Amino acid sequence: QQQVKQSPQSLIVQKGGISIINCAYENTAFDYFPWYQQFPGKGPALLIAIRPDVSEKKEGRFTISFNKSAKQFSLHIMDSQPGDSATYFCAASILNTGNQFYFGTGTSLTVIP
């Protein structure tokens, strides 16, 4: 059973456009929601993370929007660049239980010049 559902599976965006990736979860005990970026041949790298006490977190061109009542969160990449082309994973965990992360299935983002 997939604890975190991610969509879309793939996304093509023009350079300068906005990329939006969505995730949904069921377990209301989750209280940490990171996004990871993975390039081919590399391990995932933490991009940005949010806790459910805030509805939005912004770091540079990357923004997480969080809707606790809907149990959904999304990643927005503003002014998308070709260098952003990668696979993006959302994840969720319960802070006090350690580092057992539940990952979404990933979104392959291609930014066309």
Partner 1 sequence: KAGVTQTPRYLIKTRGQQVTLSCSPISGHRSVSWYQQTPGQGLQFLFEYFSETQRNKGNFPGRFSGRQFSNSRSEMNVSTLELGDSALYLCASSLAPVYNEQFFGPGTRLTVL
> Which is nearer to partner 1, 17 or 48 (by Cβ)?
48
Residue 9 binds to partner 1 (criterion: CB under 8 A): no
Query: Can you say whether the dihedral through the CA atoms of 4, 91, 94, 68 is positive or negative?
Result: negative
Please state the closest distance from residue 113 (CB atom) to partner 1, in A: 27
Cβ atoms 38, 89 nearer than 8 A = yes
Stretch that binds partner 1, among 12-20, 22-30, 58-66, 91-99 (CB under 8 A): 91-99
| Rounded distance between C-alpha atoms, residue 102 and residue 54, angstroms | 20
**End-to-end CA distance of the chain, in Å?**
38
Segment near partner 1 (CB under 8 A); pick from 21-29, 53-61, 62-70, 96-104: 96-104
55 Cβ neighbours under 8 A, 6+ residues apart = 65, 66, 67, 68
Report if residue 44 touches partner 1, rule: CB under 8 A. yes
Residues engaged in binding partner 1 (CB under 8 A) = 32, 34, 36, 41-46, 49, 89, 91, 93, 95-106
